[in-house]
Amino acid sequence: MYEFKEEIIIALEEAGLSKTEAIIYLSILKKGPSTAYKIAKESGLYKANTYQAIEGLIKKNLATQLAVDNKNIIKVMPPEEFISKLDRQKEKMQSILPVIERGLDEEPEGISLHMGVPAFMNILYSLLKLGKDIYVYDIPSYVPEMVKNYIMQFHKERIKHKISMYHIYDYDAEERIKFLNKMKYTYAKKGKINRSSRVSTFTCGDVTLIINWQEKAKTIQIKDKDVAEAYKGQFDMLWKM
């Protein structure tokens, strides 16, 4: 069974692959084109999961199936072609970015409601335009898993802009806290042992975000200076504690 570094798996997940697809892709790169049976055996995955992941890679145009000596052989796209494919997708996104930004600029001041993790991440990226530090408290320990396909790319972009982010996690998120504190412009602490929340609060400049994670990341965005200052004061108190 092959083992691959976690950061490589995460990078492929952020590029749009499932964890199983990432493992299969790396296994084929390492071993070379092979049958689904051998791939499952060498990667240590169940056959059903392997076949499903191979089908997913084929649908993403990252793998092909060839008939060789009456056997179906699976081969994958080389990494350089994979990167080229991502670059083309990025170019498409950049072409529609002005339209998206115009839509955001037309958003009215006040309170707005947004549903789902992708919507939450779009708002989080918009905070970077403010050029101010970001503060968040009452983060449940399971949230990194909910946002795993997006959050590392966000942190890379944030760090590139030298924007600091301060986190207060639930008391049982020690590993995540250690991980964050190793990153530049990133600080994390754990909350009190008897404090556990399903709702997180972000503040940045005049913007406040309240996210109900139990409601599949239902985000309330508030654009109000006084409200933001009040929540920032709450953060400062918890940070000192």
DSSP states along 36-63 = HHHHHHHHT--HHHHHHHHHHHHHTTSE
Mean pLDDT score, 203-217: 92
Beta bridge partners of 59: none
What pLDDT is recorded for position 179? 94
For the full predicted model, state whether its pTM sits above 0.85: no
Phi then psi for 98, rounded to 5 degrees?
Answer: -60, -35
Mean pLDDT score, 194-202: 79
Q: Reply yes or no on whether the pLDDT at 120 is more than 80.
A: yes
What pLDDT is recorded for position 181? 95
Considering only 45-49, 126-130, 187-191, which range has the smallest mean pLDDT? 45-49
What is 94-125 written as a DSSP string? Answer: HHHHHHHHHHHHTSPSSEEEEESHHHHHHHHH
Do the beta carbons of residue 235 and residue 203 sit within 8 Å?
A: yes
Considering only 79-83, 167-171, 229-233, which range has the smallest mean pLDDT? 79-83
Instruction: For residue 173, give the DSSP letter.
Output: -
**CA–CA distance, 117 with 96 (Å, rounded to integer):** 21
What pLDDT is recorded for position 78? 86
pLDDT confidence tier of residue 157, bands split at 50, 70 and 90: very high
Instruction: For residue 215, give the DSSP letter.
Output: G
Q: Reply yes or no on whether the pLDDT at 73 is more than 80.
A: yes
For residue range 130-153, list pLDDT tens digits in order. 999 999 999 988 999 999 989 999
Distant-in-sequence, close-in-space partners of 117: CB < 8 Å, separation ≥ 6: 146, 147, 150, 216, 217
For residue 8, what are the CA distances in angstroms to 43, 53, 152, 179, 194? 15, 17, 12, 16, 35
Q: What is the dotted CATH code of the domain comprising 6-81? A: 1.10.10.10
Domains 6-81 and 107-240 share a fold: no
Task: Tell which wins on pLDDT, 154 or 81.
Answer: 154
Domain residue spans of the chain: 6-81, 107-240
pLDDT confidence tier of residue 82, bands split at 50, 70 and 90: confident
What pLDDT is recorded for position 101? 59
Q: Reply yes or no on whether the pLDDT at 8 is more than 90.
A: no
**CA–CA distance, 117 with 216 (Å, rounded to integer):** 7
DSSP-based three-state secondary structure for 4: coil
Mean pLDDT of the chain: 85
Burial 143-165 (b: 16+ CB within 10 A, else e): bbeebebbbbebbeebeeeebeb
Q: 209: part of which helix (H) or strand (E)?
A: strand 207-212
Question: Among candidates 197, 188, 178, 195, which has minimal Cα distance to 140?
Answer: 197
Beta bridge partners of 117: none
Q: What is the dotted CATH code of the domain comprising 107-240? A: 3.30.870.10
Please report, to the nearest 10 degrees, the dihedral formed by the alpha carbons of residues 66, 13, 160, 81 taken in order: 0
Phi then psi for 216, rounded to 5 degrees?
Answer: 55, 50
Mean pLDDT score, 46-54: 88
Q: What residue spans of the chain are helical by DSSP H?
A: 6-14, 19-31, 36-43, 47-59, 79-105, 117-127, 143-146, 151-160, 174-181, 225-240
